[in-house]
Amino acid sequence: MQPAQLQGIFVPMLTPLNADESVDLTSLRRLVDFLVGAGVHGIWAMGTTGEFAGLAETERARGVQATVEQVAGRVPVIANIGDSSTALALRHARHAAQAGADALALTPPHYYPHSMDEMLTHFRALKEAFPDLPLLIYNIPQTVKVKMTLPTTLQLAREGTVQGIKDSQNDLRWFRMLALGIRAEKLEEQFRLFLGTRILIDAAVVVGAHGAIPATSNVAPAAAAEAWEAAVLGDLALAARAQEVVLRYEELADIARGGSPDAAGYSSMKNTLREWGVIDNARLTRPLREFGEEEVAELRRRSPGQGLRARGTRADTRHEESAEAPCSVPAPRSRYSYSWQPRSWRCRGLSFRLPPPRHPLAWTTTSASSCRVDPNRRPSRPSSRAPPLARLRLKATALSAPSALKAVSGSVADILSAMPISSAQPSQI
């Protein structure tokens, strides 16, 4: 695979587990279909959100293999092979390559505070062993103790050792300086820039990213894809509104009454997916704390998916027809070929791919008339009487704007100006 094919929303996929903390392959395959069916552009397997650090080598290998098999070439799969030494990372890389992963992602080895010359040795060893697979740096210093420097990252890019980066430290200044350096070296097609962020998907486009890898896209995959695609096409208002839906699921982690922030996020997402019937068990690798019964009950009450009455049932989002004349508006949709394809909206018999089946959100569009989307119907053929996209206002039914965005207008520039660039809370994705 060419590095230029890696772009858009890659989901850092959760790893469904059985009660004994082995990988639940049946649930994993359902989760893959749920995400790919929602229109995401790729899968990031065995990342931080996938709890790779708590899984045995054999379980990691089983998870990657099942993911690649179930994706079946519909989107690219990037497999994280990070571990505490180069030798261990090579073992994971061998499993991922044999499984057919499209690219590899590698963290600096965790535990020891390694130097940058040791990082050169680390990444070069992996590239030498697997020269035909794109290799991405996974920069997440809050968990591995080592922060990649700009000179070392640019050196690895320049010499062709690495073909991209996922930067999860939430330092937009660092990321933008890297993007400028890559552009100055004319390496944009050979080095792909991904921002590991759950709340700045639209902003990632502005700072020069080729894609984003938000953990919350596990439960809001269609909204995350919509936020990215709209931002790429310059419709920042639509992008901001789709981002608000992603943020709404982020807030569910606040239900936790103990445990670490990471455990709260993973447990909220796994319990949500269990309620939707996507996975069978919300188990986390110990000692990560799982939600108790009272927290799960609160999750059901506060979730945007509260219309689900029982696990495995569809949302109670009934189709509402408008008395107004039919209307439609094209919106972007990315395919594996990465050419932008139209997706259709309709009023009167309205259908849209956002959200996907099983997903509880209903979306509305308002112009001269108001319509509700049926999430379980196929997209319709676009009508010739389509009003301009700027005339439509997209909003999520029963969702208010997150508090983080209430004070800003919704544009990316305003969002960036309202947030500290270097002091933002690190996003561990």
How is residue 123 written in tokens? Answer: 């990444």
269 and 375 in a single domain? The answer is no
Report pLDDT digits (tens) over 212-260.
Answer: 999 999 999 999 999 999 999 999 999 999 999 999 999 999 999 999 9
- Residue 83 CB neighbours (<10 A): 22
33 and 140 in a single domain? The answer is yes
Contact 78, 135 (CB under 8 A): no
- Residue 216 CB neighbours (<10 A): 29
pLDDT for residue 199: 87
Q: Is it the case that residue 352 has pLDDT exceeding 80? A: no
How many domains does the chain fold into? 2
Q: Is it the case that residue 53 has pLDDT exceeding 60? A: yes
Nearest alpha-carbon partner for 41 in 305, 225, 185, 186: 225
Nearest alpha-carbon partner for 328 in 348, 314, 311: 348
Residues identified as active-site: 48, 111, 138, 166
Mean pLDDT of all residues in the chain?
77
265 and 345 in a single domain? The answer is no
Residue 264 placed within a domain: yes
Long-range pairs of 252-256 with CB within 8 A, sequence gap ≥ 24: 252/299, 252/302, 252/303, 255/291, 255/295, 255/298, 255/299, 255/302, 256/289, 256/291, 256/295
pLDDT for residue 330: 28
338 SS3 class: coil
CA distances from 90 to 29, 56, 127, 294, 315 (A): 26, 15, 10, 43, 44
User: Which helix (H) or strand (E) element contains residue 164?
Assistant: strand 164-167
Distance, in Å, from the CA atom of 79 to the CA atom of 8, rounded to the nearest integer, reads 16
Q: Is it the case that residue 167 has pLDDT exceeding 60? A: yes
Residues facing residue 78 across a β-bridge? 44, 103
Looking at 247, 275, 303, the residue that finishes a domain is 275
Out of 56-65, 100-109, 294-303, pick the least confident. 294-303
Q: What are phi and psi of 31, to 5 degrees?
A: -65, -40
pLDDT for residue 290: 96
Report pLDDT digits (tens) over 133-152.
Answer: 999 999 999 999 999 999 99
The DSSP bridge pattern shows strands 370-372 and 77-80 to be: unpaired
- Report DSSP letters for 54-107, one per residue: GS-HHHHHHHHHHHHHHHTTSS-EEEE---SSHHHHHHHHHHHHHHT-SEEEEP
273 SS3 class: helix
Share of the chain above pLDDT 90, in %: 69
Nearest alpha-carbon partner for 315 in 349, 283, 280, 361: 361
Residue 347 placed within a domain: yes
Q: How sure is the predictor about 370, in pLDDT bands with cuts at 50, 70 and 90?
A: very low
210 and 328 in a single domain? The answer is no
Residues 178-205 have a mean pLDDT of 94
Residue 410 placed within a domain: no
Looking at 275, 309, 340, the residue that finishes a domain is 275
204 and 120 in a single domain? The answer is yes
pLDDT for residue 383: 31
242 and 328 in a single domain? The answer is no
| Ordered alpha helix ranges (H), 160-234 | 172-184, 201-206, 221-232
Q: Is it the case that residue 331 has pLDDT exceeding 60? A: no
Report pLDDT digits (tens) over 11-40.
Answer: 999 999 999 999 999 999 999 999 999 999
197 SS3 class: coil
Q: Is 67 exposed, middle or buried (0-12, 13-18, 19+ CB in 10 A)?
A: buried
Residues 366-380 have a mean pLDDT of 31
326 and 261 in a single domain? The answer is no
Distance, in Å, from the CA atom of 401 to the CA atom of 412, rounded to the nearest integer, reads 15
Nearest alpha-carbon partner for 130 in 156, 165, 101: 101
Domain, as residue range, for 40: 3-275
24 and 128 in a single domain? The answer is yes
Q: What is the DSSP letter of 411?
A: -
Residue 200 placed within a domain: yes
At position 287, the amino acid (one-letter code) is P
The DSSP bridge pattern shows strands 8-12 and 211-212 to be: parallel
Share of the chain above pLDDT 70, in %: 71
Q: What are phi and psi of 107, to 5 degrees?
A: -85, 160
Residues 88-94 have a mean pLDDT of 98
Residue 255 placed within a domain: yes
322 and 246 in a single domain? The answer is no
Of residues 52 and 427, the one with the higher pLDDT is 52
At position 378, the amino acid (one-letter code) is R
CATH number at residue 74: 3.20.20.70
Contact 392, 329 (CB under 8 A): yes
Residues 84-92 have a mean pLDDT of 98
Report pLDDT digits (tens) over 336-351.
Answer: 222 223 333 232 233 3
216 and 349 in a single domain? The answer is no
65 and 195 in a single domain? The answer is yes
The answer for residues whose C-beta is within 8 angstroms of residue 375's C-beta and 6 or more apart is: 315, 317, 352, 354, 355, 356, 357, 359, 361, 362, 363
Q: Is it the case that residue 180 has pLDDT exceeding 70? A: yes
The answer for residues whose C-beta is within 8 angstroms of residue 373's C-beta and 6 or more apart is: 345, 350, 351, 352, 354, 362, 363, 364, 365
Residue 113 placed within a domain: yes
62 and 123 in a single domain? The answer is yes
